[in-house]
Every structure is written in C-alpha cells, then in structure tokens.
Amino acid sequence: MEFAFTEEQKMVREMAKKFADTEIAPVARENDILERFPIAIIKKMGPPGLLGGPVPEAYGGAGLDFISDAIIFEEIGRACSSVRTIVSVQVSLVELSILKWGTEEQKKKYLPALCRGEILGAFALTEPEAGSDAAGIKTSAQKTSDGWVLNGSKTWISTGSVADIVIIFAQTDPSKGYKGITAFIVKKGAAGFSSREIKGKLGLKSADTAELFFEDCLIPEDSILGGVGEGFKIALSALDNGRYGVAAGCVGIIQGCVDACVRYSKERRQFGKPIASFQLVQDMIARMHVDLEAARLLVYRAGDLKNKGIRNTLETSVAKYFASEAAVRAATDAIQVHGGYGYSNEYPVERYLRDAKVATIYEGTSQIQKLIIGEHILGIKAFV
C-alpha cells in the first residue's frame, strides 16, 4: 500500500474540502433543524465531479480511484452526514451497481444523468420484516406478457421519496430462496408505486428517508438489472460499496469532532486556564485522534483492494464496523469536552453524535459486521 497521496488525490481533497466548507457546512445546522432536504447543494455537486466518483468518464463520471472516492466521502461527512448519506446512496449503491450489472443501454441512459445530479437514485432492499435478513424479502415480482408486476413494500429507504429511479429487490421465484431474488430499476411515477417520508428520526434529519409501496406496479422487461435471480449477488456487491462510503463518512465525523474539540478546548477557560491544558481533556482528544488514524487507515486499506480489483468484503466490514463505532465514541467525548454547550446545537458535536449512531445500524449493523468478520476468520457461518 502506498501511504503518500498522489497529486490527483491531493487535488480531490482540496476541492472536496473547499466545497464542504463553503457550500455544506454553513447551512448544515439550519437544514438539520428544519429537516430540509439539501437539493440545491446536491445539484451543485454534479459539475465538479463530486457525484461521479469512480464512474468512468465515458459514462459521465469523474473516473476517480477509490481512495479519492473515500476522500470525498470523508470531507462531506465532516461537514454534514445527511449530505454524505445522499451522495453515498447515489454513488456507491446506485451508480456502481448500474455500472457493474447494467446493460450498455442502462448505463448510457442513467449514469450520465446521475453523475451530473440531474436525477437522484435510491436503493430499496430493506423491508418491514427483512432488515439484517436481506434474503427474507417478501416483495414479489410476477412475470406477465407486458413485463413484471411488483407488489410489496420497502422501508428505511434513503432518498426514497425524492428519488427519480430506485433499484428495487423483489422475489421472482420463492422456491429458490435468495437465488430467486431479482433487481429492477423502477422509475418515479410508475403506476402503482408510491412513497411516504419517514419523520421523527434521531439524526440525518435533512436526508430523506421513506417507505415505498408497490401495488400491482407494472414495469417493462428492460427494467431488470443484471439477470433474473441475480438480485442477491447484486445486493451483496452493492453493500460492499455502500459500507465503504459509510466508513469513510464516519472518518469525516471523527475528524470533525477532533477539529471542534481542539478549537473549543483552546478557547474555553476554567480555573484560570484553557481546558486544553487539563489532562483528562487531552485524554479524550488523544483517543479521538487514535481512532481517527486507525479508521482512516482501515478505509484506505479497503480502498486499495478495490483499486486492485481484489475482493474486499472482510476489509470493508472491518472498516465499517470500526469507523462507525469510533465515530459514536468520538462524538460522545466531543460533547463531554464541550460540556453544557455540547448538549446544544450551538456547536456541531451533538449533531455528530445523532448522525453517527445510524452508521452502526444501516447497511449492516455492527453485529452483522462482526458476524461477517467472524465467518471470514473461522470459515463457519453463524447462521444459514
């Protein structure tokens, strides 16, 4: 692994940091309070390539390597995890899934518009009775002479109620279990397809989260992504990409906690001196920094494998598990460093904690990540 950044990676960080500091951070608090979807910010991210990431230039992307991809998620996550979530879904789950599994026609039809931010995408796997048990989905797709008819529902779908296209996973042959799952690209406005936004979330308040409903929703034959029965493989490969984006975003949260605590502890005075001089304050900030360095290296290790085309399910799960849990620890300590002020939204650290918690849940809980890691180490599945 090369520990020095390339000139391109340095430029990507400079560009992403500048965008995050000037366009995202100044309105993050207000968007969080108002639960306002940051559509104007997302639209601005298309032209500089922040929505194109590792998608080849031939399909409208930026053609970046996966370390650069992580750098973008990190800088955005440092400013606002709601925006990072939207971008992670757009790039990691939707664009990269279409890039890997889509037909040439689907790639040309959807990828340039997604990369430019002209349309938004969502990824719908989770159901009311199928969260960690992704193979247990009940949404069905029945073949007809006109295409496929979808029936069922999805829940906790990021960007679900505002997305223009959604990758839907449905059971096409229940007798085959997970091998009967198929992925479809469904357009907004399809007859029988509706959505309802989920309100009252602890964090990610300016990111859209929704329930999706399909009632005799007819979609054309060319809506299939990959082949019939390949849906579970597509979902697993997408989650490897999605978890990578979540992990990198959590590195950004930890960096934000460190930055906020350094500033505040030097300014805040107690007992006649800055609290930065207190041993136990330094202890908390030191622990944040160690977690930051460890999480960042774990993410970059997974990214290095992605760049080389080497399977990285284990390394990505390790990065996602560690970085998400470390982000919660860092945000908890950051609030403690800020004292009473940390408990208010006058400072960003309370938002960091609320936003960090969901990273230990979505795209595979911390417990699921440990089972994935355990299976790779032991060669034995915890359950089948």
Q: Which residues are catalytic?
A: 363
What is the distance between the alpha carbons of residues 184 and 121, in angstroms, rounded to a whole number? 13
3-state class (DSSP) for residue 348: coil
The owner of tokens 């595979």 is 364
89 touches 159 (CB < 8 A): yes
Structure tokens at 376: 């790779």
Phi-psi region of 130 (alpha: psi -120 to 50; beta: other; left: phi over 0): beta
Structure tokens at 286: 């030191």
What is the distance between the alpha carbons of residues 182 and 43, in angstroms, rounded to a whole number? 31
251 touches 74 (CB < 8 A): yes
Structure tokens at 182: 């198929």
What is the distance between the alpha carbons of residues 137 and 296, in angstroms, rounded to a whole number? 34
Torsion of the alpha carbons at 79, 282, 70 and 76, rounded to the nearest 10: 0
CB burial string 2-25: b at 16+ within 10 A, e below = eeeeeeebeebbebbbebbeebbb
Compute the chain's Rg from CA coordinates. 21
What is the distance between the alpha carbons of residues 327 and 233, in angstroms, rounded to a whole number? 29
Max CA-CA distance within the chain?
80
Pairing of strands 140-144, 147-158: antiparallel
User: Residue 108, class by beta-carbon neighbours within 10 Å (0-12 exposed, 13-18 middle, 19+ buried)?
Assistant: middle
What is the distance between the alpha carbons of residues 149 and 140, in angstroms, rounded to a whole number? 8
What is the distance between the alpha carbons of residues 165 and 65, in angstroms, rounded to a whole number? 25
What is the distance between the alpha carbons of residues 316 and 80, in angstroms, rounded to a whole number? 22
